Amino acid sequence: MVDKFVGTWKMTSSDNFDDYMKALGVGFATRQVGNRTKPSLIINMDDQGMICVKSQSTFKTVEIKFKLNEPFEETTADDRKTMTVFSIENGNLVQKQNWDGKETTIEREVTGDGKLIAKCVMGDVVAVRTYVKEA
């Protein structure tokens, strides 16, 4: 299930991300950098089922390690401290972050043409970020 997500992905487009960051409560200066940054997403899984997701960019590199369906504490690139849980839903890798009574979801899908699409949802705001596989 997770195998198709494993690899190094490079972001090629990002739609409505500024509004998504605003909905998260990200301040102006960080949004400016966030809008300019094209991260690489590096996803690995070991034989114990531990998954590593690393988002790497000139702005910031953040790495999280977790098992599916097991909540853990995450510090996000914009410095939110969230309780996060990953699951597989309809073949997609779904990340739910909860903090300060709020919730956002990042649903990642690998499409038939081999792209990784990250759909970021906060309330009624949706951002879509597209990645292509590098390795």
Contact between 21 and ligand DKA by CB under 6 A: the answer reads yes
Among 76, 84, 86, 122, binds ligand DKA (CB under 6 A): 76
Contacts of 29 (CB under 8 A, 6+ apart): none
Q: Which stretch binds ligand DKA (CB under 6 A): 42-50, 71-79, 81-89?
A: 71-79
The residue among 18 and 68 lying less far from ligand DKA, judged by its C-beta, is: 18
Nearest distance in Å: CB 112, ligand DKA:
20
Q: Which stretch binds ligand DKA (CB under 6 A): 42-50, 63-71, 75-83, 85-93?
A: 75-83
For residue 31, what are the CA distances in angstroms to 27, 57, 119? 6, 14, 18
Contact by Cβ (8 Å): 71, 78? no
